[in-house]
Structure 1
């Protein structure tokens, strides 16, 4: 048997591909076999079917009875099984390792979705959502085809995209304060931080001083690590972010935001701003 990554001989050899299809047709019709019907099903001439059947009989893959009566032998079944297994492995490889990485995104189903069904795509709460549709563009202006079944609130794979998802990028409000040697979190007004956090669905803290500032304001941060990438991802999915950071770390965030076209502002929340 050939390697599943290259497929079986059926995919690489025209003669074997024809023999495979003829054997399948014989197995489906046996014992009374019409060579004309097989020729029509396979897409070759009746003469070609006759010649292949003669070879298959000589090789022991098919047994011939009376006129027009053929049956696939155990040897023929074994060959069919081997080729079918190789084809199945190859198809699994293509589906999982090749197509699985090509233009398939994950969305959250808002209702029951069946593989092959068209869905409307929308971005809500930072999550791509898929809603069953009749094939129109839908409110979000974008549709796709589901590649998996899913119940409501389950993840569903989507591909074959049409249109654009209509949503606004989030924005970033950066609260900047000095490092610990110059006051750290104690330089911030906890009430001001708390009020700002209430207006932002995502709170990110960059560094230990920022974590201390959030705790002093009785705010639980959503992001503590990898804040540069996390803030960018959240905003590109439509979420507004409150970022607490010492001044030295601000440029790393703003440089990334400028690259992605995300708007941001720096606000003063020090105790002198009460």
Structure 2
């Protein structure tokens, strides 16, 4: 265990120094006491010790500043805490974390299962082969939800792509200016079809491919692509930026294309 978590006094010393660094140079011992959960007298004693150890310097009444040595100690200790937290998250909680999956076949609690992603959803197969596995925590029949824990490996998943097609706004023709045959062809093989803007929604309905989602489509498209789905977004021209911004933020693979 990292030193700062070895005993309560060291942990409190770390928290007091963090609060000083956050509030310097005008430091209210009462505010620090409230933040840390100790008495004002205890904060005074901690500050005195920090000054004696050269981690804090006093500049005047109720004015303190963390020294270079104090900053270095904070950085080293924070790194230790972060590494410890990462180990807990990955090695400890990773083995006990439970998630839900769709059972590919009948499965019983305790069975080893192979984990795969189909249509953007996690599947557990007791007879499958793959690079990711887990252990079932519940009984389930094929097609039912099953609990899975003890995750190992990485799910073999190729991220999907997003194609954004523009539809003119109503002032320049709207859905009436769209080649509906070309639009139908463009969305025919998509795993998920989304739309933003009335003109885009109407165009897809006229092409007999109504969209699955018409709100927050940029975020939905990014999430779906991240789960391996190929997505088509039809957007009114003046709404394209609201689609591509979330895609760019998520580092999703996308292109803006024409219907011609």
Fold conserved (TM > 0.5)?
yes
Shift of 1:256: 1.6
- Which of residues 118, 126, 130 in structure 2 aligns to 1:124? 118
- Could you tell me how far 1:199 is from its partner in structure 2? 1.7
1:207 aligned residue: 197
User: SS state of the match for residue 208, structure 2?
Assistant: coil
- Selected match of 2:232 from 234, 242, 247: 242
1:172 aligns with 2:162: yes
Moved more, 222-231 or 106-115: 222-231
Partner of 1:254: 244
**Post-superposition CA distance 1:216-257 (Å, at most 9, x none):** 212122222332222122111111111000122222221222
Q: Secondary structure at the residue paired with 1:235? A: helix
Q: Which residue of 2 aligns with 1:154?
A: 144
Query: Structure 1 residue 162: deviation in Å?
Result: 0.3
Aligned residue for 1:31? none
Normalization by structure 1: what TM-score? 0.57
Q: Partners of 1:147 and 1:251 in 2: how far apart?
A: 44
- Does the 8 Å CA contact 1:140/1:164 hold for their aligned counterparts? no
Which position in structure 2 is the counterpart of 1:198? Answer: 188
CA shift digits 1:21-52 (9 cap, x unpaired): xxxxxxxxxxxxxxxxxxxxxxxxxxxxxxxx
Partner of residue 217, structure 2: 227
Q: Which runs of 5+ in 2 are unaligned?
A: 1-92
SS of corresponding position for 1:258: helix
Query: What is the SS of the residue equivalent to 1:252?
Result: helix
Instruction: Indicate the residue corresponding to 1:106 in structure 2.
Output: 100
CA distance in 1, matches of 2:192, 2:239: 18
After TM superposition, list the pairs within 5 Å mapping 1:42-61 onto structure 2.
none
CA distance in structure 1 between the partners assigned to 2:251 and 2:98 by the alignment: 25
1:184 to 170, 174, 185: 174
| CA RMSD, 1 decimal | 1.8
The list of structure 1 runs, each at least 4 consecutive aligned residues, that deviate by more than 3 angstroms after superposition, is none
- Structure 1 gap segments, 5+ residues each: 1-98
Q: Deviation at 1:215?
A: 1.4
Count of residues in correspondence between the two structures: 166
The TM-score with structure 2 as length reference comes to 0.60
Q: Judge conservation of contact 2:218–2:245 (CA < 8 Å) in 1.
A: no
